[in-house]
A and B are shown apart, each in its own frame.
Chain A
Amino acid sequence: MSVVRRQLSVVWMTCNGQQTTGNGQLTTDNKPLAKNMSRIIPIIRKEFIHIRRDFRTLIIIFAMPIFMLLMYGYAINMEIQNIDLAMIDHSLSPASRELVRAFQGSRFFTVTYFDGGESAIEKLFHRRDAKMALIIPQDFARIIGGPAPASVQILIDAGDSNTAQLLQNYANVVLQTYNAGRGVVAPFEVRATIQYNPTLKSAYYFVPGLVALILMMISALLTSLTIAREKETGTLEQILVSPVRPFEIITGKVVPYLFLAFADGILILLVARFWFEVPIIGNLALILLGCLLFVGVALSFGLLISTLARTQQVAMMGALMGTLLPTVMLSGFIFPIASMPKILQFVTYLVPARYFLPVVRGVMLKGNTIFHLWLPLGMLVLMGIFFLMISAKRFKMTLEV
C-alpha cells in the first residue's frame, strides 16, 4: 500500500513542482538565439553521454584511427624486400658468379642456390619457397665474353600480378647494374626523379586518404546511426513533441561529431607528422579548411542517410555503401582514378573524397596554395550545399511518417 501512496505523490510533485496555472508557460528567455541555445545544449550534452557510455562508438572514434594508422603505416608496405630467388647456375663460371653476387647484394632479393632442375621450379612456386627463379645457361660465360649479348632466363610467380611487375623491375635494375659493372653502356639511360615523395614512403600516400576516411566515417556513419537509434527507440518522437525545432535537433546531434571528427583529423595529422615524419609543406590552415568543408559534406550526407533509414542496421549499411567503400575505392586513395574504367571514373565525380584528397596531398606534400585548389574546394562547397538541401527537405518529411 505504501507503494501506491508513493506513486500517487509522484504526480502531485510533478504537477505542483512548477507554480504555474497549467497552461504551459515556460520560463525561458525571450531572445530567440538564447532559446535555441538553451535547447541545443542539452541535446549536445546528452549526445556526449551516449558516446561516453557506448563502447562501440568509442572504438570507432578512438581505436579505429590508431588501428588504421598502424595498419597502413606498417603492414601495407608498397616496397617489397627479401624476395626468395631460386638461382640455377649452369654456367658455374666467374661471370655467372658475379651476376649471382649482384643479386645477393641487392636488398630486394634473398638468393638460394637450387639444383633441382628447371622442371622442379613450378613446385617451388607452388610451395611458395620462391617467388622468382633465375636460370643462367651453360654457355653464359662464353657468350658474354663475345660481341653478342648473353641471355638469362627469369621466371616470376605472377599469381599476384602487381608483385610480379615489381619483381621484374627490380631484376632489371640489378641486371643494369651488372652491365654497368662490366662496362657495357646502354644506348640511353632512363633516370626517373621522384618528386614530392623522394623515398616513396607509403605513409605519404596513405595519410591523406586516412584523414578522408576517418572524417567521413565519423561524420556520416556515426551521425546517421545516432539519429536512426533515436528513431528505433521512439525517443526522437518524444523530442519532436517538444518545442524543439528540427534544426535544433540536427545541430545538437551534429556538433559532438564535428568536434570528434576534427579531433581525430588532428590526431592523424600529428601522428603522420611526428611518427611517420610526413612533411607538411603547405599551409596547415588550408588543410583544416579542407577538413571543415569535407566534414560539412560528410555530415549532410549522414543526415541524408538518416532520413532514409529507420533502423540502425539500415543506416549502417547505407553509410558503408554510401561513404566508406567509395572513399576507399573510388576517391584515388588506393587506386588511381585514371586507370579505372570510364564508367567508374564518372562515378568518382560524386565521391566527396575525390575533391578532398588533392587538397590534403597537395598542401602536405607539394605546398599547394588556394590558387591551385580552388576547384576541388569549390566542388566540396557545392556538394555540401546539395546534400544539405536534399536532407533538410527529406528530414522534414520523415518527421511526419
Chain B
Amino acid sequence: MDNYAVQTENLGKRFGKFDAVKNLNLAVHEGEIFGFLGANGAGKTTAIRMLCGLLLPSSGSGRVAGFDIYNENEKIKQRIGYMSQKFSLYEDLTPAENIEFYGGVYGLKRQALLKKRAALLDELGLAEQADTTTRSLPLGFKQRLALSCALLHDPAIVFLDEPTGGVDPEARRNFWDLIYHMAQQGKTIFVTTHYMDEAEYCHRVSIMYQGEIIALGSPVELKKQYVKASMQEVFIHLVDR
C-alpha cells in the first residue's frame, strides 16, 4: 500500500511515430508541491493529460489518488482539480454563472453550491460585478476565478497546467501564495511551468526534455548536484547539453 498521490511506471504516449512521452516514472507524495518543468513541447501537457484521464496512455501504468488511470477514471475525476493555461471559463457567462455551472457538473448540491457561490464572489471581490460577463474581467481575476471553479469540489490533487501563463509577475507571485496555502491544506499540487523562478517554490521538481525526465529532485538538491546558483542555470545546463 502506497500513499503516493501520483505514481507512474514507464508511462508513455506515442502519436504516430512521435514519442511525446517516454518511460515516465514518477512518485508524488501527498501534500507535495511537485513542479513539472520543461520547455514548450517537452511533453508536459501530454503527461498531465494522461494523468487527468483526458488522454489514454500508449504504454506503462499509472495511479492517481490510488486509482488506476486506465480503468478507474471516474474515481480519479472526482478527486482531482484541473486548471489549464487557458483559464477555461465561459466568457459570455457571469462569474456567478461560471461557478454555478462547474459546481453543477461536479454534482454539488444546490443549496451548498449557492452558499459557496455567494461566499466565493464575496471573497473574489466580484460581488458587485455579478452581472458583468467574465470576458470583461482582468486576467488576474479570471485566473483566480478559474482556480476557484476547479476547486469547487474540494479535490485532493490539483493539476495546474501552466497556470501563470500571461499573468504579470505580481499576480504570479500571489498565485504561488495560493498554491502554498493549498499544500498546507494537505492537497497535492502538480504544476507545470516554464518559468524557472517558479521552480524554486516547488518541493520537488522534474525536468522534462524531449519526452523524458532528465532530472528529478528538490531545487536545493539539483542546484547542488549541478553546482549552479539557480534553477534557471540548472535548466539551461541540462537542456543545452
Contact = CB atoms under 8 A, between A and B. Distances in A.
Interface in B92-140: 92-93, 97, 100-109, 112, 115-116, 119-120, 123-125, 133
A27 interface: yes
Contacts, number: 160
Given A14-B120, A27-B108, A46-B93, A242 B77 contact: yes
A23 B65 CA distance: 9
A53 B108 CA distance: 26
A54 B92 CA distance: 8
B108 A26 contact: yes
Interface string A4-29: 10111111111101101011111110
B77 A10 contact: no
A336 interface: no
A243 B177 contact: no
A141 interface: no
User: Taking chain A's interface residues, is the majority helix, strand, or loop, or is none over half, making it mixed?
Assistant: helix
B102 A242 contact: yes
Nearest to A16: B185
Interface residues of B, number: 61
Interface in B45-93: 52-56, 65, 74, 77-80, 82, 84, 86, 88-93
B107 A243 contact: yes
Interface in A11-58: 11-15, 17-18, 20, 22-28, 35, 38-39, 41-43, 45-46, 49-50, 53-54
B165 interface: no
Contacts of B154: 14-15, 17-18, 20, 22, 24
A241 B54 contact: yes
B225 interface: no
Given A13-B123, A24-B78, A233 B91 contact: yes
Interface string B31-56: 00000000000000000000011111
A15 B187 contact: yes
14 contacts: A9-B123, A10-B123, A13-B119, A14-B151, A15-B154, A22-B186, A22-B187, A23-B65, A43-B105, A46-B93, A234-B88, A235-B89, A237-B88, A241-B77
